[in-house]
């Protein structure tokens, strides 16, 4: 099995980057099986199609326009997203669904895709951070993701030493994150 955990969104627009931060948090705080790749999807657009085509399973972490309450967490399968139709309101939703639509009409095998998404509170300010509402709801998103992956036989093992979400945000928003030693 070849799997990918893809966090998407733009970390420069506050809660829009919550998927990227969630993926990074999981990478920092859990030991991953060797067959899963953690991907900072940022704003991948058409490149997202590559993951749908080259992997057996893809779990996307992102924002959603669904729901009424910021911080609410949802799970969607690729079939549910394809049925969403006009519900696509955010750039992240449009990218994910458009690539699913394109792949579904190609004659190639496509990965099983799940999306764990949270309703953002604020995606307007140019700020590499998350609102307190989203930070408070992040444990729900993390737990839902860990449970979903476990249901696919992808078991994440918690590390003994944990890095806080705020530390992940601060380090990841810093360009020297990749070389930072914890």
Residue 161 confidence (pLDDT): 92
Cα dihedral: 24, 79, 152, 16 (round 10): 10
Cβ 18 vs Cβ 120: under 8 Å: yes
Give the predicted TM-score (pTM) of the model.
0.84
- Residue whose entry in the numeric block shows the structure tokens 């948090």: 25
Distance separating alpha carbons of residues 49 and 63, to the nearest angstrom: 18
Q: Flag whether pLDDT at 56 surpasses 50.
A: yes
In angstroms and rounded to an integer, the radius of gyration of the C-alpha atoms of the chain is 15
Average pLDDT over residues 32-60: 82
- pLDDT tens-digit profile of 116-172? 999 999 877 777 788 999 999 999 999 999 999 999 999 999 999 999 999 998 887
- pLDDT tens-digit profile of 57-103? 999 898 887 888 999 999 988 777 666 554 545 555 556 665 665 55
Distance separating alpha carbons of residues 14 and 93, to the nearest angstrom: 17
Residue 182 confidence (pLDDT): 36
Average pLDDT over residues 21-42: 92
Residue 33 confidence (pLDDT): 96
Residue 171 confidence (pLDDT): 82
71: tokens are 């911080």
What angle, rounded to 10 degrees, do the helices at 18-29 and 132-151 form? Answer: 60
Q: Flag whether pLDDT at 37 surpasses 90.
A: yes
**Widest pairwise Cα distance in the chain:** 45
Domains of the chain listed by start with CATH number? 3-179 (3.40.50.1450)
């Amino acid at each position: 099995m070849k799997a990918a955990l893809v966090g998407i969104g733009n970390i420069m627009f506050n809660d829009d980057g919550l998927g990227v931060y969630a993926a990074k948090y999981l990478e920092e705080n859990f030991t991953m099986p060797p067959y899963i790749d953690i991907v900072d999807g940022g704003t991948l657009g058409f490149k997202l199609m590559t993951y749908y085509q080259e992997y057996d399973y893809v779990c996307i972490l992102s924002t959603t326009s669904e729901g009424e309450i910021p911080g609410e967490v949802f799970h969607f399968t690729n079939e549910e997203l394809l049925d969403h139709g006009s519900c696509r309101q955010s750039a992240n939703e449009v990218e994910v669904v458009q690539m699913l639509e394109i792949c579904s009409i190609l004659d190639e095998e496509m990965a099983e895709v799940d999306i764990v998404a949270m309703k953002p509170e604020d995606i307007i300010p140019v700020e590499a951070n998350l609102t307190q509402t989203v930070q408070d709801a992040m444990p729900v998103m993390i737990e839902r993701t860990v449970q979903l992956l476990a249901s696919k036989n992808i078991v994440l093992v918690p590390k003994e030493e944990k890095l806080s979400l705020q530390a992940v945000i601060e380090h990841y928003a810093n360009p020297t994150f990749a070389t930072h030693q914890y």
